[in-house]
Amino acid sequence: MAQKYYTVTWDQLHRDSKALAWRLLERGPYRGIVAITRGGLIPAAIIARELDCRLIESVSIVTYDEEKRGEPRVAKPPVAAGDGEGWLILDDLVDTGTTARVIRALLPKAHFATVYAKPAGKPTVDTFITEVSQDTWILFPWDTEPQFIAPIAKSVAQ
C-alpha cells in the first residue's frame, strides 16, 4: 500500500485537465485523441472538448488491480491511429511508466500527455501538469466518495 494519499476532486481534475489542454493547444492541431482506458477517458473527454477534437480512439491497457501492479495487458489495441503521427495520447497519470512504454511501442510517433506524473514515469511522458512523489497514491474522484471523518481532537492521541 502507498504511504501517502493525494485526493483529487472532480473540480480539481477538471481544472488540471484544462491546464493540460492549454499546454497542448500550442502543439496542435491533432488528428485525433487516443484515450487509454479507463483512467484516461475522463481527461480525454475534457481535453477533446477544449481542443475541439471529435475523433477519439481508445486503447485498453490493464496494469493494476487496485494498488497492485501486474504485467501490462493490452485488452484492446488501437485500430485507427497508424504509427501515432499527429495523434495525442492521453492518460490520467504515469506512475512507473509501465503503461506508457506499452503505448509508446504501439504508437511511437504520437505525443503522450498525462494530467499527473510520478518521478519514475516522468521520462516516459511528453507533457504533464502536476507531479506527486513516488510513494503517493493518487485517489481519483471515481475511486472515492465523501464520508464522515472524526473531528481532529478525537482522532489524535490526547
Ligand X SMILES: O=P(O)(O)OC[C@H]1O[C@H](OP(=O)(O)OP(=O)(O)O)[C@H](O)[C@@H]1O
| Known binding-site positions for xanthine | 95, 138
Number of chain residues interacting with Mg ion (CB under 5 A): 1
Helix, strand, or coil (residue 138): strand
Q: Which of 115, 91, 104, 100 is nearest to 20 (CA)?
A: 115
Task: Between 15 and 38, name the residue whose CB sits nearer to ligand X.
Answer: 38
Q: Which of 36, 47, 95, 112 binds ligand HPA (CB under 6 A)?
A: 95
**Active-site residue 91, yes or no?**
yes
Chain positions 10 to 39 lying near Mg ion, rule: CB under 5 A, are 39
**Beta-bridge partners for 88:** 33, 111
Which candidate, 109, 114, 53, 44, places its Cα nearest to that of 81?
109
Q: Is 58 in the site for ligand X (CB under 6 A)?
A: no
Nearer to ligand X, 52 or 67 (CB): 67
| Interface pick for ligand X out of 20, 39, 107, 112 (rule CB under 6 A) | 39
What is the rounded CA–CA span in Å between residue 12 and residue 89? 21
Q: Does residue 64 touch ligand HPA according to CB under 6 A?
A: yes
Judged by CB under 6 A, the stretch of 15-23, 82-90, 123-131, 132-140 that binds ligand HPA is 132-140
Beta-carbon contacts of residue 68 (< 8 Å; ≥ 6 apart): none
Number of Cβ within a 10 Å radius of residue 69 = 12
Interface residues with ligand X (CB under 6 A)? 36-39, 62-64, 69, 91-100, 121
